[in-house]
Structure 1
Amino acid sequence: SAPLAALAERPLLRAVADWRPDVVVPTFHLGAQVTGRLRARGALEVPTAVVVVDFAVHRGWLHPGNDLHLCVTEKATEEVRETVGGPARTVGPVVPARFFRPRDVDGHWRALLDRHEAAAAQRTSPVSPERPAVLMSTGAWGVGTRLLETARQLTAHGCVPVLLCGNDERLRHRAARHPGLLPLGWVTDLPGLMAQVHVLLDNAAGQTAAQALAAGLPVVSHRPLPGHAAAGVQAMARAGLSRYAVGKGEPARSAHELAFPGPARARQTAAARAAFRADPAEELVHLAEGACAADSRAR
């Protein structure tokens, strides 16, 4: 990443000169490399706080030049401290406020699910409590391993799969041909949709999974994407924030177990609530105030 980081240094310095921020906050690993390099050389005078959004800390996030790292779990914080030797704090996932109290404001998603179930089953009754609606996350690009096969397995085991296809219209059209599967394109009201489904089926431990934690939606991880996504899925499961579903009957077995009130769902949703440890904005304010105080003393 060093060559790419070097190319981005001058544009960032120009932006800092124009905007004159109190803190620079990278939320992407390449950005963390850019700010870390500049701070280490003294070229960037503004303090930097890296928001590490991944559950598994990739080395691309880490540069000792940065002033602070904000992490999603205590384990991630420990790894950062051991690697860079600098300050790190556990704040939990950073999620928009509307996910913490998700509401289907106008009933759009409830009506859509009811119509879908009625059409699929050739009856007029809504989705019954025994048929959990499983939201399948595939990211903005609609990426996943054997997505339609997984959807068929869920349908065969009494679930209602709702496939988020992102911007992949071809995937959405292919999925529409499968009975019982509800494919959706890019969704702007994800909190409202999460308020009406029972479980999130995830393959990357990314932002959708973090948003589900805030929404009180149990997360089942299945067939993770190769590479860093797989590491994130495993780290999230080890933290007790999701269930990594492998083996016979999965992921439908876990979806049924976590969809409805019971010990398994209670444990996971309690762990999810506890994951949100602190307000990251307050950490940024403290960092900025400390830098201002140090600057005043230097004068």
Structure 2
Amino acid sequence: MSRIVIVSARFGAGHDRAAYELANRLSAHDVEVLDFLDLLPPALGSRLCRLYRRQLQTAPRSWEWTLRALDGGAAAGLTSRAATMACGRLRRALGDRTDLAVSTYPLATHALAHLRVRGALTAPLATYLTDPAVHRICVAGAADLHIAPNHLAQQQARSHGATAAVVAAPLVATAFRPAAPHERLEARRTFGLPPAGRLALVTAGSWGVGQVQRTAHDVARSGVATPVVACGSNTALRDRLRAEGLAHVFGWVDDMPGLMRAVDIVVQNAGGLTSSEALAAGLPVLTYRCLPGHGRANAAVLDRLGLARWVHDLADLPAALASSDRPPASAQPAEDPVPLLEKLLDLA
């Protein structure tokens, strides 16, 4: 049995959900999932996580400036060196019997690549790119394989120096699937939602960041759909929206596949794994009031691919909410990433 180590990070939930879905699919092997933040010097990882979350909540435009700064060669080198602060603990966690290392988080990719270059990691290294758009810091030349969720991401990865980049389907749990007619009504009953009428799920990831409040009210005022808001762990946002009179506001939702089976369309702002889950559930997806930085980059790629319409103006929102257009199956890659990784194991 091969030992596979997957390194993720608890920045939001997208990196972790991809890592654990991959671990589930690789269950025939001995798989361990590590959190990059726990490999940093004591307390540093938690502080970085809190800082990033506060940045998105209070000064989201500064994140876009940060990503622009990191697009330069010198800044990217600084990022790579910062990742090496985790290398000591990471090397010990890898041990002497790791047959394949996989990263779902950029700094983890650079830390593993650093070990690979120094000879401290002899196993193959693969990077799973969780976002539709690929920033320079997501790519490490020492990685044997970069797995991209679409062909534009593949091209971007190659332009940033990926020596081998392939396309595979996003890592979405099988529970995300189109709802049968009777399941939709049953799901609406379960979540206390209206049995009739068009419902739009407004979601902003596990942290509930961005202009969620304005988006929810824009959807309500459109007269086209009733907003169903998933606030994630942002309890302050949940309480505020409920106090403002919105009827269908949830905090953390354990059964997101079930909630998606209850609605007709998804309105999101970051373009990450939530978009892939909604598409797997057979729902049309809109990007609206998207987050600066990675949110806008993802929105542009999804819109260009025809996977999720980017609604730039409030005036365009009602027509977009009324649309039931879904991307053709051919617009999304179908290949499972697992055989690609197992091929690396065979070559090891």
TM-score bucket of the superposed structures, by smaller chain: 0.7 to 0.9
- The structural deviation recorded for 1:165 is 0.5
Given that residues 130 and 170 in structure 2 are in contact (C-alpha distance below 8 angstroms), is that contact kept between their aligned partners in structure 1? yes
Q: In the alignment, what sits opposite 1:282?
A: 339
Give the AA of the match of 1:32: T
Q: In the alignment, what sits opposite 1:208?
A: 274
Greater shift after overlay, 225-234 or 104-113? 104-113
RMSD, aligned CA: 2.1
Superposition map of 1:78-93 within 5 A: 78-93=155-170
Change in 2 beyond 3 A, CA 1:148/1:37: same
Give the AA of the match of 1:254: A
Q: In the alignment, what sits opposite 1:98?
A: 175
Give the AA of the match of 2:86: A
The structure that has the greater radius of gyration is: 1
Task: Indicate which of 254, 261, 271 corresponds to 1:195.
Answer: 261
Change in 2 beyond 3 A, CA 1:203/1:69: same
Change in 2 beyond 3 A, CA 1:102/1:65: farther
Superposition map of 1:64-143 within 5 A: 64-101=141-178, 109-112=187-190, 115-117=192-194, 126-128=195-197, 132-143=198-209
Q: Secondary structure at the match of 1:77?
A: helix
Give the AA of the match of 1:42: G
Given that residues 54 and 232 in structure 1 are in contact (C-alpha distance below 8 angstroms), is that contact kept between their aligned partners in structure 2? yes
TM-score (ref. length: structure 2):
0.72
- The structural deviation recorded for 1:235 is 1.1
- The structural deviation recorded for 1:229 is 1.4
Q: In the alignment, what sits opposite 1:149?
A: 214
Q: In the alignment, what sits opposite 1:294?
A: none
- The structural deviation recorded for 1:116 is 4.5
- The structural deviation recorded for 1:37 is 1.6
Q: In the alignment, what sits opposite 1:241?
A: 307
- After superposing on structure 2, the runs of 4+ consecutive aligned residues of structure 1 that deviate more than 3 Å are 100-109, 178-181
Q: Which runs of 5+ in 2 are unaligned?
A: 1-78
Task: Indicate which of 122, 126, 135 corresponds to 1:58.
Answer: 135
How many residue pairs match? The answer is 268
- The structural deviation recorded for 1:21 is 3.0
Distance in 2 between residues matched to 1:97 and 1:49, nearest whole Å: 23
Q: In the alignment, what sits opposite 2:227?
A: 161
Change in 2 beyond 3 A, CA 1:108/1:4: farther
Distance in 1 between residues matched to 2:178 and 2:105, nearest whole Å: 27
Q: In the alignment, what sits opposite 1:6?
A: 84
**CA shift digits 1:43-83 (9 cap, x unpaired):** 21010110001111011111101110000111111222232
Q: Secondary structure at the match of 2:175?
A: helix
- The structural deviation recorded for 1:107 is 6.6
Q: Secondary structure at the match of 2:107?
A: helix
Change in 2 beyond 3 A, CA 1:106/1:137: closer
2:292 equivalent to 1:226? yes
- The structural deviation recorded for 1:14 is 1.1
Given that residues 311 and 320 in structure 2 are in contact (C-alpha distance below 8 angstroms), is that contact kept between their aligned partners in structure 1? yes
Given that residues 305 and 331 in structure 2 are in contact (C-alpha distance below 8 angstroms), is that contact kept between their aligned partners in structure 1? no
Distance in 2 between residues matched to 1:208 and 1:85, nearest whole Å: 26
- The structural deviation recorded for 1:136 is 0.7
Given that residues 140 and 167 in structure 1 are in contact (C-alpha distance below 8 angstroms), is that contact kept between their aligned partners in structure 2? yes
Give the AA of the match of 2:265: V
Task: Indicate which of 221, 236, 252 corresponds to 1:170.
Answer: 236
Distance in 1 between residues matched to 2:290 and 2:278, nearest whole Å: 17
Give the AA of the match of 1:149: R
Q: Secondary structure at the match of 2:95?
A: helix
- The structural deviation recorded for 1:112 is 4.9
Q: In the alignment, what sits opposite 1:44?
A: 121
- The structural deviation recorded for 1:242 is 0.4
Task: Indicate which of 253, 256, 278 corresponds to 2:319.
Answer: 253
Distance in 2 between residues matched to 1:82 and 1:231, nearest whole Å: 16
Given that residues 303 and 309 in structure 2 are in contact (C-alpha distance below 8 angstroms), is that contact kept between their aligned partners in structure 1? yes
Q: Secondary structure at the match of 2:316?
A: coil
Given that residues 133 and 156 in structure 2 are in contact (C-alpha distance below 8 angstroms), is that contact kept between their aligned partners in structure 1? no
Q: In the alignment, what sits opposite 1:121?
A: none
- The structural deviation recorded for 1:9 is 1.0
Give the AA of the match of 2:277: Q
**CA shift digits 1:10-58 (9 cap, x unpaired):** 212111116x332111001111111112212222101011000111101
Identical residues among aligned pairs (%): 33
